[in-house]
Chain A
Amino acid sequence: MLRHIKTNWPDLLHFQPLETPFPAPERIFPGLEEIDPETFPAFLDEIGLVGMGGSGFPASEKIRASIGAHTLVINGVECEPGITVDQTILLHHPLWVQAGANACAKAIGATQVVLAVKNNPDHISRFRVLYPEYDIAPFPDRYPAGAEKLILKKLTGKMPPPGVRPYQMGYLVQNAVSLRAIGRAIVDGIPVVERPLTLTMPSTGFYKNIIAPLGLPIRDVLEAFNLPFDPEAHLISASGLMMGNEVGLDDCIEKTTLSLIILERSKLEEKERGCIRCGTCNTACPLGLHPYALVERIKKGRTKSPAFKAQMTECFLCGVCSAVCPSHIPLIRTLEEGKQCL
């Protein structure tokens, strides 16, 4: 029952521009000449790389654990709806992404590189030109498609067992923006000091992908683009519409800020009504779980059964159940509490 999302975005299927109104960072150390599996994770620590797809997991740990994996997956599937930063980076900065991907593949000894992108024929034909030596795996344009679990499900044909990390199955999934940062450090000698992100204000039709320096207050970003922001009427959602959180004007751009989306408060206020037991949350759950049954059990404190534990472990709090609920019940808040019952 997942419908198309009704927001007045510009047409996301077209190529989105990439703008950098901020001064470019300076080269502070020589690039990397030789990729050595021994020293490569330490190099990643040195440039300060974390998972730029939103997880914030230290990239060096992931590389260390994945040595011996046979496939590197470049994750260019946007996790959140309305964000195009991954595919824009893949389109505009292919050299850096390729440098990063080749370095990662060499460091872990991967023989195959797969480029996972959204299923858009125009973009895919362009990617075939830009990345001739990589395999391209198209993914449907729906949320959630960019989670590691669902990417592996598509690539291996079956759902990875609960609790198994991708490297245990011989895959390393790296976000396109992370790989761009690695490439930037190797080629130009610039550590992770900037963050590509989607800045959009649907009510005015403003939509741009920008590269902003880390640590810049959001106030300055908005001023650079002259956005009519009013704290009373608007709300800034960082890192996406589904799993993101509200940020203030004085918060800074962080390494995990995927996007800044300015929404109107009046459109978001919804009153919670009683459950009509329609089962829309069950139908929409991408993992086939039973969200309302889980919520009922959490509220009653019946959290000891193995069936409950198995389902609660599997849930990755994507928020689809809350988004489709016709009664606007905040299921995801209760499920977050339930994660602590495990």
Chain B
Amino acid sequence: MPIASPFLRMGARSSGMVAWAMAALMVPATFYSILYHSLFIFQMIGYALLGMVAEGIYVLIVRRKLQLNSIASGLTVALIAASVPPSMPFLPMLSSILLAIWMMKLPMAGIPLRFNAAMAGRLFLMLVYSSHVVAWGTPTADVISTATPQELYRSEGFALELPQLLFGRVGGIWEELFLLVPGSPGETFPLIILLLGAVLCWKGIVAWRTPIAFLISFGITTALCGNSPMFNLFSAATIFSAVFIVSDPVSTPMSKSGKIACGIIIGVSNALLRHFTYYTEAIVYAVLLGNLFTPLLDRIAFAAQGWRLQRRR
């Protein structure tokens, strides 16, 4: 490649983007590890390495060359690990990793329609090993099925207060029952994740349009359905998905208007699914629905821009 203009380069580089996102994901994982489940961070790193090995094997077989810098697969697997309970057994986790990497991530590289591989892996776990996925551990006794804040609210009409959700620690009369807000390791510290998301936006690593459109449309739809928007935003995996899942560049549209439309589709469908169906956190379905619309939204944005230019002539 000869050197040619433009000689200037600005903004972030894609080589460091995944590493930054990985580092950001490590922060809440480390907190969770220190406070509640000391082995979790090592478990997550181990799974991430496993994902990288899985990509290495795939590349070796399909493209006949050895390639080891596959940190993107590591991030996908780390996201799966952060969105299920740490007590998840190894075999389901392995099959979900292989499904995500070998069937969803690598064969679909380079085509416009992409699904978020982490969400696909989690969907597999939810459908096949559903009893493990809801086994949120409490620190007093390791694996006991407890209700997440959403489930508590749904079944008993009891809403945790905002400070408890923000800092991931339950106080008052419920402290006897569970010390921490039950949930997956990734979603327990919404405040920290929100700050990390702001840092990632400022570094130019994630695009802000999709997550912001997602959060705003989700909040509005939840309010219209008659639920508390603040409680719903900060419980379950909403903030976590906004920062790490919805902002995924590969599976969301490229155009500005497409990004906003995709965020609104995900946000509205997620809020509606939470309100009208049995699922308490339906983010997996909402994200996959948004991914399905991505090529269509990009084409509409392209055609609309062309039409606008033609009309002005």
A residues adjacent to B (C-beta < 8 A): 1-3, 5-7, 81, 159, 161-163, 235, 237, 240-246, 261, 263, 265, 268-270, 272-274, 276-284, 288-290, 292-293, 305-311, 313-314, 319-320, 322-324, 326-328, 330, 332-333
Contacts of B112 in A (CB 8 A): 277
CB pair B305–A326 under 8 Å, yes or no, is: no
**Contact-residue size bin, chain B (C-beta under 8 Å from the other chain):** 35 or more
CB pair A308–B306 under 8 Å, yes or no, is: yes
Given A274-B110, A290-B302, A307-B310, 14 further pairs, Cβ under 8 A: A5-B10, A162-B312, A235-B7, A237-B5, A276-B17, A277-B112, A279-B207, A290-B255, A305-B306, A306-B310, A307-B302, A310-B310, A319-B5, A322-B6
CB distance from A105 to the nearest CB of B (A): 29
The reply to whether the CB of B226 lies closer than 8 angstroms to some CB of chain A is no
CB distance from A237 to the nearest CB of B (A): 5
Which among B120-128, B135-143, B214-222, B246-254 touches the partner chain? B246-254
In the bound assembly, the distance between CA atoms of A280 and B255 in angstroms comes to 9
In the bound assembly, the distance between CA atoms of A290 and B254 in angstroms comes to 8
CB pair A324–B3 under 8 Å, yes or no, is: no
Contacts of B301 in A (CB 8 A): 290
CB pair A3–B312 under 8 Å, yes or no, is: no
Contacts of B61 in A (CB 8 A): none
CB pair B14–A327 under 8 Å, yes or no, is: yes
Contacts of B252 in A (CB 8 A): 277
CB pair B6–A241 under 8 Å, yes or no, is: yes
CB pair B254–A241 under 8 Å, yes or no, is: no
A161-B313, A308-B306, A310-B306 known; A283 vs B207 contact (CB < 8 Å): yes
Contacts of B305 in A (CB 8 A): 288-290, 307, 310-311
The reply to whether the CB of B4 lies closer than 8 angstroms to some CB of chain A is yes
The residue of chain B having its C-beta at the shortest distance from the C-beta of A309 within the complex is B306
CB pair A293–B302 under 8 Å, yes or no, is: yes
In the bound assembly, the distance between CA atoms of A274 and B13 in angstroms comes to 12
CB pair B4–A310 under 8 Å, yes or no, is: no
The reply to whether the CB of B91 lies closer than 8 angstroms to some CB of chain A is no
In the bound assembly, the distance between CA atoms of A237 and B4 in angstroms comes to 9
- Taking a contact as CB atoms closer than 8 A, the residue among A246, A293, A306, A308 that contacts B3 in the complex is A246
CB distance from B207 to the nearest CB of A (A): 6
CB pair A330–B1 under 8 Å, yes or no, is: yes
The residue of chain A having its C-beta at the shortest distance from the C-beta of B109 within the complex is A274
Q: Which of B1-42 contact A (CB under 8 A)?
A: 1, 3-15, 17
CB pair B306–A306 under 8 Å, yes or no, is: yes
Q: List 15 A-B pairs, Cβ < 8 Å.
A: A240-B5, A241-B6, A246-B4, A278-B249, A279-B207, A279-B253, A279-B256, A307-B306, A307-B307, A310-B310, A311-B302, A311-B305, A320-B6, A323-B6, A328-B13
CB pair B3–A268 under 8 Å, yes or no, is: yes
CB pair A1–B253 under 8 Å, yes or no, is: no
The residue of chain B having its C-beta at the shortest distance from the C-beta of A164 within the complex is B313
Contacts of A242 in B (CB 8 A): 5-8
CB pair A273–B14 under 8 Å, yes or no, is: yes
CB pair B207–A278 under 8 Å, yes or no, is: yes
The reply to whether the CB of B204 lies closer than 8 angstroms to some CB of chain A is yes
CB pair B7–A237 under 8 Å, yes or no, is: yes
The residue of chain B having its C-beta at the shortest distance from the C-beta of A271 within the complex is B1
A272-B1, A283-B256, A308-B306 known; A162 vs B8 contact (CB < 8 Å): no
The reply to whether the CB of B274 lies closer than 8 angstroms to some CB of chain A is no
B10, B13, B110, B252, most chain A CB atoms within 10 A: B10
Contacts of A2 in B (CB 8 A): 10-11
CB distance from A79 to the nearest CB of B (A): 13
The residue of chain A having its C-beta at the shortest distance from the C-beta of B298 within the complex is A293
